[in-house]
Amino acid sequence: MLAGLVFMAVLAQNASSPEAVVRQAQEDMRLGKFSVACQKLEEAIRASPRNPALWFMVGLGRSQLKEFDPAVNAFKKVIEIDPRFAPAYFNLGLLYGYKGDPDQALGMYRRGLEIEPADLGANQNYAYLLMRTQRYGEAVAPLRRLVSAKGSDLSVRSALIECLVKSGRNSEARNETQEFLRIPGATESDKFDLAKVLFENGDLDSAQVVLQHLVASSPESADAHGKLGLILSRKNSAGRIPAFRPGQTSSRYPNAPEGFVFPGDAGVGDGATQNTYGNISPRISLAWQPGALPNTSIRASFGMFVAPPAMSTYNHAGDAPPFAPSYPLVPGSRSHLALLTSSFQPRRI
C-alpha cells in the first residue's frame, strides 16, 4: 500500500514538472487554446519562477493572443534568466516590429544572431526589416547567409540583388544576377520582376541582360519586349546632347575639345541646359460695359509670354560626335578635320 502511494506521488510530480507543463502547453497551442496554455504555464511559474522554458512559452502564448506587452515582458524575463537564449531575442525582434519600433527590433535581432548566427528565420526577418527601413547595405550580410543555405530561393536572391544595387555594389549585383539566371526554376514572372527591380534602381545594363535572357526563352512575352525597348531607347539617348562650357574638360569623354561637355559631367544635367524657374508668364485682362451702351463692351489685356525653342534647334547638338561623326572638308584646315573625326573614348563615371 505504501509503495503504491509513493508511486502515485511520483506520477503526480512528473505530470506537473516544468517539462510536462511545456509539453501540455504546446499541445494546447496546437489546438488554438492559447489562454488555457498560458494559465497552466503561469501556475507552473509560481512553483518554478526561474525556468526560462516556461516564461518562453508564456511569451509565445501571449503573442498569439495579441497581448504584446505581457509577451514582451515574458521574453525579457527569459533573457534575464538565460542571456544566451537566442529565440527570446528573435521573438522580441518580431514583437518590437509589430509595435512599430524598428530600432529596438533590429537590436534584438543583432543580439540573437550573435548567439545563433545560422538561424535562417531570424536572418530572413532581420534582412527584410533592414530593407523596410532602407538599410540596404546592412541587409546584404544576412541575405548572403540565406543564399548560402537556400541557393535556389529566388525571392532571397532577388532581395540580395536589390540591396546590392541600392547600396552601390553594382559589380556584385551583376554576378548575383548571372547566378539568378542559372537557377532552373526561375519563371518568366521571376525574371521580369527582377528586371523591374534593376530598372527602377538604375542598373540598366543588368536589367537588359535579364530581359534579353527572358526574350530568348519566352519570345512571346510582350511585357519583356516593351521593357527591353524602353531600356535600349533610354541607353541610346542618355547623355547625347552636348553643352558648351568654356574652360571645362569632359570627364565622360576626356579627349573631346575643351568646353565640349555632356550630361554626366560636373554641372551638366540630363537636358544639357540649366532649368530656368524665372520664366513666368503673367496675364491680366479687364472688361467693362458702359451703362448707357448695353451693346458695347470695352476690353483690355496684358500678358508676358515665354516660348521654348523648337526641338529642331537641338538637331545639331544631338548629331554631335562621338554619337554621329561629322566630316567638314575645310581647305587648309587639316587640324580641324582631325579634331572632329577623332574617336572620343567614353569613361564611366
Helix or strand run (H / E) with residue 26: helix 18-30
Enumerate the β-bridge partners of residue 286: 300
Strand 298-303, strand 283-288: pairing: antiparallel
Is residue 69 over pLDDT 60? yes
Asked if 163 contacts 136 with a C-beta cutoff of 8 angstroms, the reply is yes
- Identify which has the larger pLDDT, 104 or 233: 104
Dmax (CA) for the chain in angstroms is: 129
Report the pLDDT value the prediction gives residue 226, as an integer from 0 to 100: 82
Enumerate the β-bridge partners of residue 261: 243
**Hey, how many other C-beta atoms are within 10 angstroms of the C-beta on 117?**
13
Is residue 9 over pLDDT 90? no
Report the pLDDT value the prediction gives residue 152, as an integer from 0 to 100: 80
Pseudo-torsion of CA 336, 339, 341, 343, nearest 10°? 180
- Identify which has the larger pLDDT, 123 or 316: 123
Report the pLDDT value the prediction gives residue 97, as an integer from 0 to 100: 93
Report the pLDDT value the prediction gives residue 12, as an integer from 0 to 100: 40
Is residue 309 over pLDDT 90? no
Work out the pLDDT band at 186, boundaries 50, 70, 90.
confident
270-287 per-residue burial string, b: 16 or more CB within 10 A, e: under 16: eebeeeeeeeeeeeeeee
Asked if 58 contacts 45 with a C-beta cutoff of 8 angstroms, the reply is yes
Exposure of 233 by Cβ count < 10 A (0-12 exposed, 13-18 middle, 19+ buried)? exposed
Q: How far apart are CA 116 and CA 146, in angstroms?
A: 14
Report the pLDDT value the prediction gives residue 70, as an integer from 0 to 100: 93
Taking alpha carbons only, the member of 239, 227, 163 closest to residue 201 is 163
Asked if 241 contacts 322 with a C-beta cutoff of 8 angstroms, the reply is no
Q: How far apart are CA 159 and CA 136, in angstroms?
A: 10
180 grid coordinates = 539568378
- List of residues 6+ apart from 162 with CB closer than 8 A: 131, 136, 197, 201
Domain positions in the chain: 204-237
Asked if 340 contacts 327 with a C-beta cutoff of 8 angstroms, the reply is yes
For range 33-54, the mean pLDDT: 93
Of the listed ranges 206-215, 234-243, 300-309, the one predicted with least confidence: 234-243
296 grid coordinates = 458695347
Q: What is the mean pLDDT of the chain?
A: 82
Work out the pLDDT band at 11, boundaries 50, 70, 90.
very low
3-class DSSP assignment, residue 299? strand
3-class DSSP assignment, residue 221? coil
Exposure of 94 by Cβ count < 10 A (0-12 exposed, 13-18 middle, 19+ buried)? buried
**Hey, how many other C-beta atoms are within 10 angstroms of the C-beta on 303?**
9
**Cis, peptide link before residue 346, omega less than 30° from 0:** no
Work out the pLDDT band at 184, boundaries 50, 70, 90.
confident
Work out the pLDDT band at 221, boundaries 50, 70, 90.
confident
Work out the pLDDT band at 235, boundaries 50, 70, 90.
low
3-class DSSP assignment, residue 49? coil
